[in-house]
Amino acid sequence: MIGTLSRPASAGLVQTETADDFVLNECVLINQATFTGLLPLGAPLSSIDRVEVEIYHVFPVDSDTNRTPAVVTRTNSPSDVEIDDATRDTLDSSLSANATVVNPIFSVLNSVVNNINKSPNQFTGGEGPVTGTEVTITVTFDPPILLPADHYFFRPEAGLSSGNFLWLSAPKPVNPPLFDNLAPDWSRIGTDITHEGPFNASFSLSGVTDALSIIDQLVPCSGPASGGTWKNHGQYVSSVAHVAQSLADQGCISQQEIGQIVSDAARSSCGKPTKHQKPQKHQKHQKHH
């Protein structure tokens, strides 16, 4: 196994990103993700002070194809920039993170932390074995991330109060890293940097694919996903129509399905007063002389 640095920028430290690809065959509303890595030995779970997740398309989408890359190839690498509305971060509370210890003492045979160089000096062989505490970080997205069917890259980062978080590999292929000095290019760890062959990073994604379930999560009957209650039934129906159209624009549902979904919402009781709720009546205040 190998551990690869994936951390946000902080005082005196440049950002170093590691990403791994995944394919969606249908629209998915992603609620949670997990990724596994190493903390320095003795570092408490509370030393994780920031977690951020970004999603990228695959190059050449969202990329400048006219510039000369500083890496061997951009084929099957993340695009130049992330999908902006799919970014989630503990700093803005769009992501909550919970870490658990998998193994208090765990070793990897190789690591990539500092020596990430531009081509033709990309090969370093890695920086050797590392021993640390193996942890799994479970992140919950609020709001969830809606992605249509496509090929993507998942990029998590964990910032520590001291030391580095190394994302662990899994026994499958491929994951490219991005060092700030390489940006916006990505270099292939196993193929270009260590020559140990391609591998996958250890992560998982979970969510829902059914269109009605997606709408139920984005537009709950009980009130807006952001909190509170619906002002009235019309606000609920309008919100359902807006989300349904967005799903259609991304190819998740057909225009015909929009009509049925909105019709079902109109026939629902969502946003309507319950039997125990009566519209407020405003009484006139009489003045007594």
Asked if 138 and 98 touch (Cβ cutoff 8 Å), the reply is: yes
Asked if 145 and 55 touch (Cβ cutoff 8 Å), the reply is: yes
For residue 55, what pLDDT is reported?
97
Kind and range of the H or E run holding 160: strand 150-160
- The pTM score is 0.83
Asked if 29 and 145 touch (Cβ cutoff 8 Å), the reply is: yes
For residue 288, what pLDDT is reported?
46
For residue 47, what pLDDT is reported?
98
How do strand 95-108 and strand 48-57 relate by DSSP bridges? Answer: unpaired
Structure tokens at 98: 């919970």
Asked if 38 and 132 touch (Cβ cutoff 8 Å), the reply is: yes
Using left for φ > 0, alpha for ψ between -120 and 50, and beta otherwise, residue 85 falls in alpha
Per-domain residue ranges for the chain?
2-208, 211-267
For residue 260, what pLDDT is reported?
95
Asked if 122 and 192 touch (Cβ cutoff 8 Å), the reply is: yes
Across the chain, mean pLDDT equals: 86
* CA 289/CA 286 separation, integer angstroms: 10
For residue 159, what pLDDT is reported?
97
User: Count H helices, E strands: the chain?
Assistant: 3, 14
For residue 192, what pLDDT is reported?
52
Which residues, 6 or more positions from 276, have their beta carbon under 8 angstroms from its beta carbon?
Answer: none
Kind and range of the H or E run holding 225: none
10-residue averages of pLDDT along the chain (289 residues):
91 88 92 96 97 96 86 82 97 97 94 79 82 97 95 96 92 46 49 50 88 95 94 97 96 94 96 70 45
